[in-house]
Amino acid sequence: MISLIQLEYIVAVDTYRHFATAAEKCFVTQPTLSMQIIKLEEQLDLKIFDRSKQPVIPTVTGKKIIEQARKILDESKRLDQLIQEEKDDLFGDFRVGVIPTISPYLLYRFSGKFKSENPNLHLIVKEIITEDIIYQLKNDLIDVGIVVSPINENGITEWPIYYEEMQIYSNKNHRLTSMSKIKTKDIHTNDIWLLNDGHCFRNQVVNLCKINKSVNSDLPFEFAGGNIETLLKIIDKEGGYTLIPELASMEMSSSKKKQVSKFSNITPLREVSLIYTRKYEKAKFIDLLAEAIKSSIPKSLLNKNRGTIVEWR
């Protein structure tokens, strides 16, 4: 008879594509994991994995079996979760992925209070880009992601939480700092600092300002990074400007806020959402997280109608 343990082992191997890593993640020895998978293959009279490939990959039939195994394990977890919720006893790991352009300005606002109000939850936070969050959600490596939406990804549910304005941060001697009205057409490409490829905020800036990435830059060097705070320090020293999320400007001193400007012809917004694949499994956890985030930010950010959402995908 097929056991849930055997299903967990084949899902782990499919996720990590390595028997030793899968065994480590399942807290068993590699021989134990391998033996159980071989036993399952003998029971089914077929091969689930092609061991001649490196990294190991499932066979055509193995893919179908693993897909069904994930569904069975999900339903099993759902049963445990329903029992916990009925007892109003929330405990266990709650794994959250958050993108780097959100994490520094949001995480500290709610995480401490969220943990203190739910002491039996083990909150695990990973700072990773959107594509990695999607991958880890689909492979059950995290429970929920905090990203900029819409992402329009099959199998992913999006729950919009708040909307923050995209603003301009420029060097104190830059022409934009002294302009009373700035339109998107006033944004030139020759001295704007951008995050590197892979960050949704970069794509939003490019889309909003219709930036031609092929135009030569007047910047002193090319920066390939994903940290907005680093960009701000570079701008203060080297000149130029960039766009920042609203929560970032709220962190600034009064003198620094003088270097922040807004667009006069549009209020561009980035929509921040919780994304997940199986809300029912940890529904209460996700509901609590949503409420914790909403209560930790200015109420104005909850209003979708105060501007125009800029898409990035």
Q: What is the DSSP letter of 141?
A: S
223 — pLDDT class (breaks 50, 70, 90): confident
Is residue 271 predicted with pLDDT exceeding 70? Answer: yes
Is the pTM here over 0.85, yes or no?
Answer: no
**Chain-centroid distance, C-alpha 78:** 23
**The tokens 């320090």 sit on which residue?**
233
In this predicted structure, what is the pLDDT of residue 220? Answer: 80
Report d(CA 143, CA 67) in Å as an integer. 18
Is residue 218 predicted with pLDDT exceeding 80? Answer: no
Is residue 214 predicted with pLDDT exceeding 60? Answer: no
In this predicted structure, what is the pLDDT of residue 313? Answer: 80
Percent of the chain with pLDDT over 70: 93
Mean pLDDT for all residues in the chain: 88
10 — pLDDT class (breaks 50, 70, 90): very high
Report d(CA 177, CA 181) in Å as an integer. 10
Residues 6+ apart with CB under 8 A from 167: 243, 244, 245, 246, 249, 260, 261, 262
In this predicted structure, what is the pLDDT of residue 226? Answer: 80
85 — pLDDT class (breaks 50, 70, 90): low
In this predicted structure, what is the pLDDT of residue 158? Answer: 96
162 — pLDDT class (breaks 50, 70, 90): very high
Report d(CA 311, CA 90) in Å as an integer. 36
Query: What number is the average pLDDT over the span 306-311?
Result: 92
Length of the chain: 313
Query: What number is the average pLDDT over the span 210-234?
Result: 78
How many CA atoms within 13 Å lie on the side-chain side of 112?
Answer: 2
Is residue 80 predicted with pLDDT exceeding 80? Answer: no
| 48-52, 200-204, 254-258, range with the lowest pLDDT | 200-204
Residues 6+ apart with CB under 8 A from 33: 9, 12, 13, 19, 22, 23, 26
Domains annotated on the chain, with CATH: 4-84 (1.10.10.10), 86-162+270-307 (3.40.190.10), 163-268 (3.40.190.10)
250 — pLDDT class (breaks 50, 70, 90): very high
Contact assessment for residue 228 and residue 179, using Cβ atoms and an 8 Å cutoff? no
Express each pLDDT in 53-70 by its tens digit. Answer: 888 999 999 999 999 998
In this predicted structure, what is the pLDDT of residue 53? Answer: 84
In this predicted structure, what is the pLDDT of residue 86? Answer: 58
In this predicted structure, what is the pLDDT of residue 209? Answer: 77
Is residue 213 predicted with pLDDT exceeding 70? Answer: no
Is residue 216 predicted with pLDDT exceeding 70? Answer: no
In this predicted structure, what is the pLDDT of residue 206? Answer: 81
| 29-38, 83-92, 221-230, range with the lowest pLDDT | 83-92
In this predicted structure, what is the pLDDT of residue 238? Answer: 92
Contact assessment for residue 75 and residue 67, using Cβ atoms and an 8 Å cutoff? no
